[in-house]
Amino acid sequence: MSPAAPTSTGAVRAAIAGLCAGAAALGTGELAAGLIGKDSSPVLAVGAAAIDLSPRATTEFAISTFGSNDKLALLLGLLLVIAACAAALGVLAARRRGVGVAGLVVLGVVDVVAAVSRPAAGTFAAIPSVLAAVAGIAALVFLLRLLPAPLDETVRLTPGQAAQREIERRRFVLAAGAAAGVAMVAAGAGTLVRRTRDVAAARERLLVPVAAADPTEAPGAAPTGFADIEGLSPPLTPNGEFYRIDTALRVPQIDPAGWSLRIHGRVDRELRLSFDDLAGRGDLIEADITLACVSNEVGGPLAGGAHWVGVPLARLLEEAGVEAGADQVLTRSIDGWTCATPTLDCQRTPNAMLAVAMNGEPLPLEHGFPVRMIVPGLYGYVSATKWIVDMELTTFAVSDAYWIQRGWDAIAPIQTFSRIDVPRPDRGLVAGAAAIAGVAHSGSDGISTVEVRIDDRPWEQARLSPSTNTQLWRQWYLPWEADTGEHVLTVRAVDGMGRTQSENSYPPYPNAASGWHSVRVVVA
């Protein structure tokens, strides 16, 4: 045995003690959070605070790197950091008990601060963090007591001493295993308890609200020809495939029975509306509208079309009576995220609504159940508040919303974009008849032309799906006799006012990406 071995096994065991104590803390925290409810999980509180505090560049990086999986990545990262801290504290505490305990107290305090400063924090928000810290400290002290004393390497152990050490070793392994096991059971139980409170069941029971008026167009009807192109985005994106972007680590759970929306600020009459007040109205409208994220890269996936049903925003604002000069509608979701929309867009854009249904279902939980805002033509961060609970009439002069505080433009109409869906660059293509196809959209004026360039040949006009609805994106395709070799395909769109999409290439920050989408394909 090398001389260094005994001390390093000692350190490894101390690290294990730290890890198990960390697990005990997390498990206790989850169980307490489950019992208390109100999304008070200590880990999630820290994660959510991290999202809000992180510099814009990091959040942007997370969104573009992980897409809609950014939250899972953040949680895994957070767990790794916690594990590393716990192991380090174990090693420290093995040398100086007080230092390790103090470290855990500091972590506990950070956790309490994060938990109580969440916008949706309830009265008992601090309790899970406090209990977690207490459980962690108790587990650490207990496990460290069981750590076998360091070996004096110069002394040979008698067989009796060796047997005694083996007993001590087993006792430690057993205790550490038990702590970790109990922690996992507690965390599992906490999750189960929380699940029973989920509102998924309440959502299932809801009848899908139907609009009074006939839609102007058959919803999402794909003309023949387009429907057969495999891989081409349909006009209406199925709910399960619809992109998701938000700052919520855990999807907010709102029971429609307890939900209400307050409309206040610079209005003549303050309104408070229940879900039934909204969904039961006789003037519901329905419309096919494309929603897009400002963080979408050229050719990216962060856009989708859906059939929405909801209450016209213009009507609600009329009922509340907007004071002159109140140029901003500031909306807030239950988790504190805010969004500022020009009042004029809410009043004048046809089909701007508080939506209660998406593609023939109540809103999916991830997409804002029970009520969200939709304003055609504006990027989601300035128009599409999910889990909305508050609407305040104010002014751009006095108020900045979440992403505006982080440097994104306050006025953000959807820029004209076009995307090649097929052929996919990563799939091989066989020479012969093929289709180049995709979607194109512009914020307000519709799409009049889509042009495709194959290598450096002249631009060719693509066929467009017939549409009179400029609020929904448009499919396009160009038949192509693909010959073997490598090809570069490029697309650009012209909007209804005759403006061609700009070739200049810019990243999304601060007001949407720009440039022509192009793909490289190899034809065999």
Residue ranges in contact with ligand MTE by CB under 6 A? 242-248, 291, 293, 333, 337, 367, 380-381, 384-387
191 dihedral zone (left: phi>0; alpha: psi -120 to 50; beta)? alpha
CB of 243 to ligand MTE, least distance (A): 5
Q: Which does 386 bind (CB under 5 to 8 A by kind): ligand MTE, Mo ion, none?
A: ligand MTE
CB of 386 to ligand MTE, least distance (A): 4
Closer by beta carbon to ligand MTE, 246 or else 451: 246
> Is 380 near Mo ion (CB under 5 A)?
yes
Please give the Cα distance from 19 to 24 (Å, whole number).
9
Closer by beta carbon to Mo ion, 61 or else 185: 61
Contacting range for Mo ion; rule: CB under 5 A; set: 229-237, 287-295, 314-322, 474-482 = 287-295
Query: Distances from the Cα of 218 to the Cαs of 170, 353, 467, 483, 498, in angstroms?
Result: 71, 19, 10, 38, 27
Contacting range for Mo ion; rule: CB under 5 A; set: 198-206, 243-251, 259-267, 445-453 = 243-251
- Residue that the structure tokens 């899972």 belong to: 72
Strand boundaries in 361-516, DSSP class E: 361-362, 372-374, 388-394, 417-422, 432-441, 447-454, 460-461, 463-464, 474-482, 485-495
Q: Which is nearest to 451 in space by CA: 463, 433, 465?
A: 463
Residue 134's identity, in one-letter code, is V
Closer by beta carbon to Mo ion, 370 or else 380: 380
> Is 236 near Mo ion (CB under 5 A)?
no
Task: Rule CB under 5 A: choose which of 93, 293, 339, 489 binds Mo ion.
Answer: 293
In the chain, what's the furthest Cα-to-Cα distance? Answer: 93
> Is 340 near Mo ion (CB under 5 A)?
no
Residue 293's identity, in one-letter code, is C
Give the SS3 label for residue 142.
helix
Closer by beta carbon to Mo ion, 265 or else 443: 443
Closer by beta carbon to ligand MTE, 338 or else 490: 338
CB of 22 to ligand MTE, least distance (A): 30
Q: Which is nearest to 213 in space by CA: 314, 276, 282, 278?
A: 282
CB of 379 to Mo ion, least distance (A): 6
Cβ contact 513:270 at 8 Å: no
Give the SS3 label for residue 251.
coil
Closer by beta carbon to ligand MTE, 381 or else 417: 381
Contacts for 129 with CB less than 8 Å, ≥ 6 apart: 29, 42, 45, 108, 111, 112, 114, 115
Task: Rule CB under 5 A: choose which of 242, 243, 381, 476 binds Mo ion.
Answer: 381
Closer by beta carbon to ligand MTE, 31 or else 245: 245
Ranked by CB distance to ligand MTE, the top (closest) residue is: 380
Cβ contact 286:307 at 8 Å: yes
Give the burial class of 250: count Cβ atoms within 10 A of its Cβ; 0-12 exposed, 13-18 middle, 19 or more buried. Answer: middle
CB of 227 to ligand MTE, least distance (A): 24
Please give the Cα distance from 22 to 114 (Å, whole number).
18
For 3, the token pair is 């001389």
Query: Distances from the Cα of 18 to the Cαs of 13, 22, 103, 140, in angstroms?
Result: 9, 6, 11, 6
Q: Which does 13 bind (CB under 5 to 8 A by kind): ligand MTE, Mo ion, none?
A: none
CB of 381 to Mo ion, least distance (A): 5
Task: Rule CB under 5 A: choose which of 245, 289, 353, 404 binds Mo ion.
Answer: 245
CB of 36 to Mo ion, least distance (A): 32
CB of 359 to ligand MTE, least distance (A): 12
Closer by beta carbon to ligand MTE, 328 or else 333: 333
Q: Which does 367 bind (CB under 5 to 8 A by kind): ligand MTE, Mo ion, none?
A: ligand MTE
CB of 294 to ligand MTE, least distance (A): 7
Closer by beta carbon to Mo ion, 117 or else 247: 247
Closer by beta carbon to ligand MTE, 13 or else 244: 244
Residues that bind Mo ion (CB under 5 A): 245, 293, 380-381
